Amino acid sequence: RSAWGVAQGNKWLADSIDTWSRGEKPRRQQATLLKRYFELSKGSEPGTAAVKIDLSKGVVSPFDHLFRRYASTIGWDWRLLASLSFKESRFDSTVVSWAGARGIMQIMPRTARAYGLTDEAMTDNNANISTAVKILEALDKSLASRVPERSERRKFVVAAYNSGLAHILDAIALAAKYGMNPQVWDGNVEQALLLKSNPEYYNDPVCKYGYFRGRETSSHVSSVFAFYDQVCKNIRQ
């Protein structure tokens, strides 16, 4: 929530701002901003999948060789990395989200630059995937002390890749405070993340990073791992 502040004695200015803010155009703009920053995720569903999925052929995508190459550098199953990419972009390197996330792994430009990936190289699948793996590795290291079990931690990493690390740290803290298991995602930290849309919880002293609408991240993690399970049933590692 936000408000305008004016100097004492400037009641005329406060009244003018109140009148303006109730106008049709400001209300439309406020609704648009609210939806953009609090209701939408960084990603967006591509209208048409760039790659048609047929797991019966023993492949996930034409980029499986890249997923194999880079997943091995961080000890991930390549099929999980491919599943994350599928849910991020449907393997469409041309997709650009409303927030500016780009490429097959939907990396935010500011994050990409921090890892040495130029704007021009964002749509290069090789560079995009290799950078995403570096990001995943950094998230894994940040979460290792809080979630020691490696396979369980991957759910936290996928969540942080979607929402940002800060909100996941808040959810871990909330889970610990309110009797949930802070080292388990399903039904625990996942539920705590959903609480961050409630003022009672996002204003809690242990919650340092404020409001977050966690439904999209919760759904994203479930979708990634559901697709991963499907891939594992059809394709050997």
Q: Would you name the residues annotated as active-site residues?
A: 88
Q: How many residues does the chain have?
A: 237
235: left (phi over 0), alpha (psi -120 to 50) or beta: beta
Give the count of beta carbons closer than 10 Å to the beta carbon of residue 125: 18
Tokens of 208: 């340092």
Residue whose token pair is 């019966």: 56
140 to each of 155, 165, 172, how far by Cα in Å?
10, 10, 14
The continuous run of DSSP H or E covering 117 comes out as none
46: burial class by Cβ within 10 Å (0-12, 13-18, 19+)? middle
3-class secondary structure per residue, 85-109: HHHHHCCCCCCECCCCCECCCCECH
